[in-house]
């Protein structure tokens, strides 16, 4: 048996390909499907089957395009009510691919249609070798239960408890666990960074599997859920219908600096994808910075929304292409164009440039003691509760889509996150919202702790 995991770091998404006797199966494909076509061609396989473990909410799947380009059949849980041609699967469904057997477990909980795929390599053993758990079971966590329009979080959490204890945990402790997401994904809240585990390891170490009663499981899983981006439910519907091919996207339109200035004055969004330090040094006034490093697409989807029509600002054609691809992965397709010539062209046109001051944590400490500024922490709630800087205001970056923080606009504000990626995004949004005196803290809370500066915990 051939088996490969494809890990997409920017979405913390894992997809898989397995094959036997020259036929390949792809599980939970990302939207840009060339990676699977190339792998299959290299190995001499024909992609015949595609499985979706559920309707993904955090990214747009490539199942439609992959099926169209290969003739493969798509398999999905019967509760999905998918609108594209597919074979609905249920408990007891099995697919034989050469000497590999794929058995379906219906495991509702993260979503109603969720399934897990039990893989047996019959060439080596008649017993299951691995289980592909989708978003039902993660490493160190389980799927969030609030992504359904038809079921309450409590109802889904109860289903998830039953699915885990009555089905998944019935597997042997030696069975490998391969989930659809890793650390950083918003589909859970406590995932580990590893890419594979075992049923036995999860049984002993996964906090959610230590909860003994169904009632307590429901209570814990429905309490303090991470913010759910608006685009999650939209992506699920795109995946239910089946997304169009990436080749259908229209080419990006070059926009001259003078035209961009006019569009910005009319309310257009300029999305600068350069690194945060470059943005801080010089940028188009009113532009928003979400750097291509980190979870670019997730933050763009969460903060801009899928209906946005941003104009991209980048340093190179490669960066523009990468940004366009990553935005499409979460369903943000209506990119208006890009600043022709980048920041240099804006400067050459004689237009004003803006900058954001950046300071070290030592300088921040001195200024806080002198009462020279206010501090804004934009990390998520669990991060804040685990430890924060005394006197800081808290407004997680996820909330900026709803409204800017309620802080005094007349007092200079320094912004920090964990390591610096989110804080410069927040700074750009604050400046766009009319906050003039905004400073970014280099290295964020990590740098503050490394400098052994005072931290307080709790609320």
Instruction: With beta carbons less than 8 A apart as the criterion, state whether 48 and 38 touch.
Output: no
Residue pair 107/180 in contact by the 8 Å Cβ criterion: no
229: tokens are 């981006």
Backbone phi and psi for residue 409, each to the nearest 5 degrees, phi listed first:
-70, -20
CA distance 306 to 168: 35
417 given a catalytic annotation: yes
- How far is the C-alpha of 19 from the C-alpha of 40, rounded, in Å? 9
How far is residue 385's CA from residue 179's CA, in Å, rounded to a whole number? 28
Residue corresponding to tokens 């030592």? 362
Q: 384 with 308: CB under 8 angstroms?
A: no
Catalytic, out of 116, 187, 417, 427: 417
Query: Among candidates 275, 280, 268, 274, which has minimal Cα distance to 304?
Result: 268
Contacts of 427 (CB under 8 A, 6+ apart): 280, 289, 356, 415, 438, 439, 440
CA distance 355 to 370: 24
Positions marked catalytic: 417
């Amino acid at each position: 048996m051939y088996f490969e995991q494809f890990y997409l770091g920017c979405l913390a998404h894992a997809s898989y390909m397995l094959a036997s006797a020259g036929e390949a199966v792809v599980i939970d494909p990302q939207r840009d499907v060339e990676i699977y076509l190339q792998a299959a061609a290299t190995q001499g396989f024909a992609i015949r089957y595609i499985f979706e473990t559920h309707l993904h909410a955090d990214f747009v799947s490539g199942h439609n395009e992959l099926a169209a380009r290969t003739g493969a059949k798509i398999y999905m849980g019967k509760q999905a009510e998918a609108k594209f041609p597919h074979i609905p699967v249920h408990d007891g469904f099995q697919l034989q691919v050469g000497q590999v057997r794929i058995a379906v477990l219906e495991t509702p909980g993260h979503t109603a249609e969720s399934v897990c795929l039990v893989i047996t390599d019959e060439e080596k053993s008649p017993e299951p070798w691995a289980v592909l758990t989708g978003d039902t079971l993660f490493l160190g966590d389980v799927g969030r239960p609030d992504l359904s329009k038809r079921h309450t979080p409590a109802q889904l959490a109860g289903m998830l408890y039953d699915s885990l204890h009555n089905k998944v945990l019935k597997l042997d402790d030696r069975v490998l666990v391969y989930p659809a997401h890793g650390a950083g994904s918003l589909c859970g809240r406590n995932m580990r960074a590893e890419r594979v585990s075992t049923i036995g390891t999860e049984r002993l170490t996964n906090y959610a599997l230590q909860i003994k009663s169904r009632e307590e499981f429901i209570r814990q899983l429905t309490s303090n859920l991470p913010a759910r981006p608006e685009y999650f439910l939209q992506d699920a519907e795109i995946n239910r219908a089946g997304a169009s091919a990436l080749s259908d996207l229209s080419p990006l339109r070059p926009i001259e600096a003078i035209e961009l200035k006019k569009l910005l004055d009319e309310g257009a969004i300029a999305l600068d994808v350069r690194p945060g330090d470059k943005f801080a040094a010089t940028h188009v006034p009113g532009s928003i910075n979400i750097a291509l490093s980190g979870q670019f697409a997730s933050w763009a989807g969460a903060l801009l929304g899928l209906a946005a029509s941003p104009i991209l600002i980048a340093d190179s054609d490669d960066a523009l292409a990468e940004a366009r691809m990553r935005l499409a992965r979460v369903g943000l397709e209506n990119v208006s164009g890009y600043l022709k010539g980048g920041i240099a062209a804006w400067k050459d046109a004689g237009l004003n440039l803006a900058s954001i001051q950046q300071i070290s944590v030592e300088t921040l400490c001195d200024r806080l003691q002198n009462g020279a500024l206010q501090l804004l922490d934009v990390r998520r709630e669990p991060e804040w509760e685990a430890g924060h800087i005394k006197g800081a205001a808290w407004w997680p970056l996820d909330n900026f889509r709803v409204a800017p923080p309620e802080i005094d606009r007349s007092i200079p504000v320094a912004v920090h996150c964990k390591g610096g990626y989110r804080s410069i995004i927040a700074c750009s949004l604050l400046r766009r919202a009319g906050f003039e005196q905004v400073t970014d803290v280099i290295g964020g809370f990590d740098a503050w702790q490394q400098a052994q500066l005072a931290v307080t915990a709790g609320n």
